[in-house]
Structure formats: structure tokens, C-alpha cells
Structure 1
Amino acid sequence: MNLKRELNIWHVIALILGSVIGSGVFINLPIVAREAGSPLLAVAAWFIGGLIWLPQLFILAEMATAYPDEGFGYLYLKKAGSPALGFLYVWTVFWTSDTPSITIIALSAVSALSIFWGPLEGTLYTKLFAMLLIMILTYIHYRSVRKGGGFQIILTVAKLSPLILLCILG
């Protein structure tokens, strides 16, 4: 099976920025700021966290350069000689990382929206709206990789805008 490459450079940049920045920065920012006690210590905590992740990012970049095919972790483990371990890795990531992360991000996004619509705060509506959000995003990506990439550009701009404003305005 040969996959069509439908993403352009802007889609890919948006995907990378969206992955690197992540949504955790918005969820964890108030927690880190509160626990650090000062803005300088909070910035230092984020900086140190980035330094801790840097070796893993370099390793993943090296692996992606060495094996540019589709498959990420499965491909790397298969190339290392263990398709069974690759299979186990994919399902472990699906159940322990991807699914919970998507759920937490959707619930956090809906909780943030509760500022604009009160009934979403801490109710069954929060969970239902988060499920609807996940289904809509899944549908967009199912229908078209290119449309999913376009939507990722919108999300990345929405994610970068407050961070840029924070840097400019302090």
C-alpha cells in the first residue's frame, strides 16, 4: 500500500508546532506558576523541562531521518528485528497515551469554553461536548488528510496567538 502525500509545508509546520507546543502548556501553566512561586522560577521550570526532552527529540529526529517511511515507533522496532514488539508498542501507546491525552485535551478545551457558556462547567454537558468535539475532529481527519492539515493550521494559529501576545505584552 502506498500512501498519498497530501500535506504541504504549512500543514507540516503546523503539525510540528502543534506537537512541540502541545496543549499541556495551557493546562499546566497556572499550576506551574502557582507551584514555582515566582515568574522567574516558573520560566526556569519550563526551560529545564524542555532541556530534559531535548535528547528524546534528537533521537526521534535521527530515527525519522534514518527511516523516513510511515510507521514511527512500529517501524523503528520492526527495523530493530522485532515486529511483535512493534505491534505491542503501537497498542500500548494507543491505550495508555493517545486515547487518554485526546480525552484530557478535549475535556480541558470544553472546560475553558465554560467561561463563555456556564452550563458546560463540571456537568454531564462537559463530557458530552468533549465527546462531540472528538467525533468532529475525527470526522475531519477521516474525510481528508489535507482538510485535517488545514484545521491543524487554524489550531496552531489559535495556540500561538496567546503565547505571542504574552511575550509581547508580558
Structure 2
Amino acid sequence: MYLNRPRDGTGFMMKPSVAAPEHGSGVSELRRELGLLDSTMINVGTIIGSGIFIVPTTIAQYLNDSFSVIAIWIIGGIISMFGALSVAELGAAMPKAGGQYVYLGRAYGPVWGFLYGWTAFAVINTASIAAVAVAFATYLGFFIPLGAVAIKVIAIVSIILLTAINCLGVKLGAWTQNGFTFLKMAALAAIILFSFALSGGDVANFSPVLPRQSLSSMLG
């Protein structure tokens, strides 16, 4: 069992030596086409999702003070770290292609891995991709006048285009991912810099830092 593998001094499970499959052994392995930069950009793009441009406005609409907005992001980051460290532990214990499919299949049986795989394909990833595509088309409407139908068409076309790029090859998909991730980081850096340089803000905007309300009212 993978979960019974000995651990090193840090408490993490020791990674086994993985030999390349012999020719004709019947073992199917993914080709390693991605380099360090590509893998880093994929992780950065996943961690800093496109929701960073959408969600803050929604959070600010429901919360009345800067302290609550910042606290929500910090709490969300801590919760995310629990999941990230758990997946890192599982990935070190089971260095196989498949992600959560492999982990669920190993822990609960192949049926649950199968169900997760199809749920991710038909619901989880599909819904998130559609939401990001619609958000992209909606924000594009701030620069180009677009109607409701045009927004939907652009969202659909963007999904088809990016799907085609990934189907043409891993390298092409990685280059596209790298480009969009660099643009995302540049946009976030510009927002941060311009907010300090052009906002003409005042520390009085943070007063009172914590309004006189109970924790339950802050959480809704």
C-alpha cells in the first residue's frame, strides 16, 4: 500500500524510484513534455485563477468594511492550504498520472475514481470553464460594445479555440498558458501599482477598521 510507505525526517512519505516502463510491457505512461517554467506557470495560473478579477467586487458588495474583506481572503487562503498540502502528500505517495482519480480509486475503490472522473468531465470542469468564458466575454464588453447574444457567442468561440489549441499539442498549449499567465500577473501588478499611485487614498478609509457588529453578522 502506498499509504504505508515509510516517511522521511520531515514527515512526508518517501518517494519511490520510478523506472521507465520496458518496451512491450503494456504499461502506458504520459510523455514528459513540460519543463520547469511550463509547470510553474500552470500552477500559478491555477492558484491565481481568473476569479481574482471577478470575486473581489462581489465580496465587497456583501461586506461593509475593509477588515472583513481582507479577513475573508486570509481565511480562504488558510483553508486552501489544507487542501494543497493534502494533495501534495498524496502526489508524493502516488506519483501516477490521474490526480484525484488515482487517489479516490486507491482509497475507496475504482468505482469512486470512475465517478469522480466523469463528474469532473461533465460537471465540475465544464461549469468552471463556462463561467470563466462568460466572464471573459462580459469584461470584453467594456472595451467593445457587445449584446447578450454576442457575449455568449464569444464565450463559446473562446472555449472551442482553447480546446483546439490543447488538442494540437502539449507544447502549444503550454506556450498559450504561459502567455496568459504572464498577462494575468502583469494585470495584477498594474492594478496594485496604479491603486497606490493614482487612487489618492487616505488611511481614513480604513476607519473604523472593524465595525461594531458581531462575528455572525459579518459572516452573514
Q: TM-score range by the shorter chain?
A: over 0.9
SS at match of 2:111: helix
Q: 2:61 maps to which residue?
A: 34
Asked if residue 136 in structure 1 is aligned to residue 161 in structure 2, the reply is yes
Q: In the alignment, residue 36 of structure 1 is paired with which amino acid?
A: L
Q: 2:190 maps to which residue?
A: 165
Q: 1:5 maps to which residue?
A: 32
1:67 to 52, 76, 94: 94
TM-score of the two chains, using structure 2 as the length reference: 0.72
- Identity of paired residues, percent? 32
Q: How does 1:11-90 map to 2 (within 5 A)?
A: 11-80=38-107, 82-90=109-117
Q: In the alignment, residue 37 of structure 2 is paired with which amino acid?
A: W
Rate the CA distance shift 1:81–1:52 in 2: closer, same or farther, 3 A.
closer
* Structure-1 separation of matches of 2:160 and 2:58: 29
RMSD (Å) for aligned C-alpha atoms: 1.4
Asked if residue 112 in structure 1 is aligned to residue 144 in structure 2, the reply is no
Q: Give the CA deviation at 1:2.
A: 2.2
Mind listing any 5+ residue stretches in structure 2 that lack a counterpart?
1-27, 197-220
Deviates more, 1:7-16 or 1:24-33: 24-33
TM-score of the two chains, using structure 1 as the length reference: 0.92
What is the aligned length? 168
Q: Relative to total residues, which structure has the larger helix share, 1 or 2?
A: 1
1:153 to 169, 172, 178: 178
Q: In the alignment, residue 178 of structure 2 is paired with which amino acid?
A: I
* Structure-2 separation of matches of 1:160 and 1:26: 11
Mind listing any 5+ residue stretches in structure 1 that lack a counterpart?
none
Rate the CA distance shift 1:86–1:118 in 2: closer, same or farther, 3 A.
same
Q: In the alignment, residue 46 of structure 1 is paired with which amino acid?
A: W
Q: 2:5 maps to which residue?
A: none
Rate the CA distance shift 1:74–1:105 in 2: closer, same or farther, 3 A.
same
* Structure-1 separation of matches of 2:68 and 2:187: 21
SS at match of 1:80: helix
Q: 1:127 maps to which residue?
A: 152
Q: Give the CA deviation at 1:142.
A: 0.6
Q: Give the CA deviation at 1:23.
A: 1.2
Q: Give the CA deviation at 1:72.
A: 0.6
Deviates more, 1:36-45 or 1:5-14: 36-45
